[in-house]
Structures are given as structure tokens and as C-alpha cells.
A and B are shown apart, each in its own frame.
Chain A
């Protein structure tokens, strides 16, 4: 049982003109087994929240707290956060030339667990997880994310979520750019992880489409760096019909 608590989080990004505030007081609590959807227009700061929680150096936390089971997440380095049980499925997974998927998965698993996985069971586990996500076994020998299609990159992210078994997983627009088939495969992976590990999920998305496959317990509407409205799954349905216009006002339509 884990709890990620975000309290009054303010985050700025470094720009040439100086620090620019993006998040303006985010409050959110995610517990094991729960699925929270964060929805909002482009530029509202959804992805900044994801990156800041993972500790991306580009983002500066200016005030507020983030704790995982009472431990101060903001005091942890990026790798410490991952070992503490946070996982970020990235919107734009990075290519690492010359590092094979197999080597990468084993290295990360060893770091997270604090010991090398058992050779025989690990191989089987990776193979099964790949097959569940319709990832060709030849991917093991390919360089991480190099030459992967958009859909392959996203499936590779969810593969890691299933194998690393985090306490809390943040999925940053994992659905964007996926066709319906890929979306279904990816969603099945997330649901499997939820079932098998009771992971708490923070699902960041622009569209309601993925919520047909991954049922949220809570929906938060993110506007201008903070949560503007909260509710249950019915809120997502309303957004589907009404869009974000009501939140962003007619004068400033969401930049696309």
C-alpha cells in the first residue's frame, strides 16, 4: 500500500528570459490501486507535472511538497525516485544507441530491485511480457528506442512498467499517436499491471479515448497549471461532449 502526496506544488521551467512558472499549486493524492486521469488542454502543464515528479533537471520546484509514503521525493535524485517506486512512461522515449533492450531491462531491473533478477525466470518473464504487448522478440537485441515507431516506443514503455513493478506509475500521454489497435494493446498492459501489482496510476491524457480501455476512479481537469475541477468517470464523459472551452474561455482557445 503506497501513497503519493502532492501538496501545493509550484514548478518553473528555465527559459532564456528566466524562470517561467508552469505549475501553480497542484494538490493531488494517489494511492495504490487507484487510477487518476489528468485531462486538460495543450499547454496546461500536464506533462510538466509528470516530468517534475520524475525529477527532470529542466524543471525547478519553487514550492510545495511531494512525498511517497511520507518520504520526501523532491530530495531524491532521479534514479532514487525510480528505486523508491515511481515510474514515468514518457511521452517521447529517448533513443540510446548501442544499448540493447535486453541489457537495458536487466540493468534497470537490477538497480530497482537492488539485486540481479534470477537468470532463468527473468528471461521467461521478459519474453512473456513482450509477447503480451505484441513486441517481437527480436526487439531484445535492438538498441533502446532506436528506429522504433511511435507505437513501438509506447509499448516498450508499458513493457517496463509491467516488468519493474512500480508503486506509482505516471503515464504521460501514452495514448497520443497510437492507432486503435495499439491503444488497445497498451491499455491491456496497463490493466494487467494494475491487476498484478496494485499499482497506482496517474494517467495524463489529452483525449478521453484511452479512458474507454482504462477506467479511471478519479478525473482531474488541469487548466493553467492547476486542477480546475475534479470528479469521477462521469467528468470525462462530459469533457468528451463539451471539450475544454468552458475552462480556457473564449478569448484564449487551447493552442493546438
Chain B
């Protein structure tokens, strides 16, 4: 039913050739610069599933979140509890939708983005005051309760790092919910902010989230997405540079099991000169019907001289019946850049690695674990938030633990009984 072909693209030094875009059997796609963005429900209709930005998505399962009249997550009866645990230097507020600070980081670019914007009544605003250095991680938790699992709701979070502020904010998602979310990230001049979003949902959760980041002069953002749980998770992080010297590092890690859909669509908009972006996403897939989608759009506008960008996606397909789509797109409108490149590779588990490790006496299950851990190891170290790194390692172990029966079932040759240890 599903086939996996090992595929790679590597354009370490791409140039402005006017048509630099790739896909796996992709239809030609319009320029990202021309994609309509709007705050109005009327401008962005309910998708059919044939649109470029929805063609990999299970739109039927996301349908409840296309409705403009969603309730507010965290409100009574929403079935979602929102808890904030802030560092002492960090200020947390709950504000109405008319707060002037909201809606400044870009505009919605797809249907769930625009419904999330129009539905929320209250927003959580996390502010790191100017020149403050947060002494601890600030945590924002979304806990879905079983009772309200099927009730679709909308949530809005704004994380603001004022001028020269420094902080780490971790947004967690657990339990079960049907949640449409916006995470706005405003990184002012000279600020350094890390935002981590962890999707550790239970089975049954459906979660869409538009992350929209705006970077000021010399601002640095590390944006980390970790997706393990939930039936359908679709995250669309956008980053926009508004002044020179900005730097964004986007790191993603996902692990899809049977029948999970995990989609990450990124867009980095180099609108101004001398900014830098790095995108590194890695995913593993196991089990029938596991589906991951990674789309990385980078636009280097005509004025963005001195841009330095590189994006990379790697997928490790552990079993038959899983599917990874990986589409890097790079549009370059100026030749005066420092560097632009992308690479994408989707491969099966490497049997030669397995043979090498087993030829050293290591039993097959342990050998597979070593390889998968190794696949994620460098990426985890890049996150730079110790508590998150530790949890991640534990989550990967748990994924491998529950999957070992699946994996050995596929790989053990007939009669090759595995009585190791």
C-alpha cells in the first residue's frame, strides 16, 4: 500500500536560479511571497484538501477546527486547563482579545490559523521585561481533560521578549483535546529567546497550531518543536525578520507511531538584509499508517542581501507501512547572499549499521535502539534546555520500548528466533 523510497536532495550552496524548489512528486507551487495572509475568515475559506498547504493533511479529521465559532481553551467547559509557572522575572497576564499587543507577529496563512485568531476570547501573555534575564524556565501547560476531548476550542499565547531580555519558555501539551492554537512570539531588539513547544498528547488528540515569530534588530530566537503524541498534530511555524542582524534557529524532533499524522510546515521570511536562519528537523516513523510531513519554505526577498540560511530534514523510517513526506522550498530573489542551502533525506533503517553492531555481539533490539538514539543525539544536544533534553531522551526510550515488538516482528527472519540476553 505504502512504499518508501530512499530519497535525498542536497543543495548545500543553492543559487538564485528562479525555480529552486523540490518535492516528492510535488505539483508546481506558487511563490510563498504570494500566499494570501489575512485576519479575516472570509479571505481564507475552508480547504478541500487539494490546496498546496493542505495536500498532505487529513482534512476530515481537522474539520472541527475549520469552524469559525470555536470556544476558548481554558474557559469553563472547554475541557482544557491552562497552567503557567513563570520564572520570577517574567510577567504573566490573561488579557482580552482587544489587547493591542496581540496580532503583531504576522498574519494567519491558512484556515486553522485564521479560525484560531477569530475564536479566542482570552489570551495568555508572557512578557520578559527589557534587559531581564530569566533565572528559570517559564512553563505554559495545556492539559486536555477526557470530558471535553471532542469539544473543539481555540487558544492564544503571546510570548514577548522585550529589548535585550533573555528567557526560556516551554509550552507543553498533554492529555486529550481538540485544540486550535496560535503562539505569537515577539523578540525585540537584542533579545534572546528560546521557545519550546512539546506535543506530548495522549491518543485521540487533534492539535493545530500557528506559531508566528517576529524578530527585531539583532534578536535571536531558538524555536524548538517536539512532537510525540496525539492523533493529528499540525504545526506551522513562521519566522519573519523585521530588522538586520536577526538570527533564528528552528529545531524539530518528531516520532510518529501507527496511524499518527505529524505535520510541520515552516516558513522563514528573509525580508531584510543580513539575517541568519538554520532549520534542522529530524523524525522517526514506525508502524502502519504513521505519516509525517515536513515542509520547509525559505524566502529570500530582493532586499535581503547578506542572508545566510540552511535547512535540513532527515527522516528515519523504522518499519514498513510508514510514510514520510519532505519538501524543502527555497526561493531566492537576490544573488547577493552569504549562503543558502537545504538538504532532505528520508531513508529506511540502515541494515548495514545493524549488521555492524550485531557482528559485535549486540542483540538486534539493542542495536536498533543505539541507532535511533544516535540519529537524534546531536539534535537533542542543540536544544540547550537541560530539563527538556532529559524528558526527550526518556520519551524516545519510551517510544522504542513500546515499539520493539513491532520492530522485531518486521525484521526477524523466519525461524530466526531471538533469544538474546
**A residues with CB within 8 A of B:** 54-57, 77-83, 88, 90, 93-99, 103-104, 107-108, 111-112, 143, 160, 164
Contacts and interface: CB of A to CB of B under 8 A. Distances in A.
Given A79-B420, A97-B374, A99-B377, 14 more contacts: A77-B364, A79-B360, A79-B367, A82-B359, A90-B356, A96-B356, A96-B357, A96-B374, A97-B378, A111-B360, A111-B363, A112-B361, A143-B374, A160-B360
Nearest to A93: B356
A83 B362 CA distance: 8
Contacts of B355: 54, 56-57, 78, 94
Contacts of A79: 358-364, 367, 420
Q: List the 9 closest pairs (A to B, CB-CB), nearest first.
A: A98-B374, A98-B377, A82-B361, A108-B360, A111-B361, A94-B356, A78-B358, A112-B361, A99-B374
A99 B367 CA distance: 10
B370 A107 contact: yes
B416 interface: yes
Interface string B342-368: 000000001111011111111110110
A94 B416 CA distance: 23
Best-surrounded residue of B355, B370, B418 (most CB of chain A within 10 A): B355
Interface size class of B (residues with CB under 8 A): 20 to 34
Contact of A57 (B351, B370, B375): B351
B376 interface: yes
Nearest to B360: A108
A101 to B, nearest CB: 12
Interface in B204-226: none
B353 A96 contact: yes
Contact of A54 (B351, B359, B373, B378): B359
A57 B364 CA distance: 13
Contact of A82 (B351, B360, B418): B360
Contacts of A95: 353
A111 B416 contact: no
Contact of B375 (A78, A93, A98): A98
Contacts of B361: 79, 82-83, 108, 111-112, 164
B413 interface: yes
Contacts of B377: 98-99
29 contacts: A54-B355, A54-B359, A55-B359, A77-B364, A77-B420, A79-B359, A79-B361, A79-B362, A79-B364, A79-B367, A79-B420, A82-B358, A82-B359, A90-B356, A90-B359, A96-B374, A97-B374, A97-B378, A98-B378, A99-B371, A99-B373, A103-B370, A104-B357, A104-B360, A104-B370, A107-B362, A107-B370, A108-B361, A164-B360
A190 B319 CA distance: 39
B420 A99 contact: no
Nearest to A92: B352
B351 A99 contact: no
Interface in B367-412: 367, 370-371, 373-378
A55 B351 CA distance: 13
Contact of A98 (B350, B359, B360, B373): B373
A254 B420 CA distance: 42
Contacts of B358: 77-79, 82
Contacts of B375: 97-98
Contacts of A143: 374
Contact of B366 (A77, A88, A107): A107
B360 A57 contact: no
Contacts of A164: 360-361
Contacts of A111: 360-363, 366
Most chain A CB inside 10 Å of its own CB: which residue of B353, B361, B374? B361
A96 B362 contact: no
A143 B375 CA distance: 11
A79 B361 CA distance: 4
A82 B352 CA distance: 16
Contacts of B362: 79, 107-108, 111
A88 to B, nearest CB: 6
B214 to A, nearest CB: 34
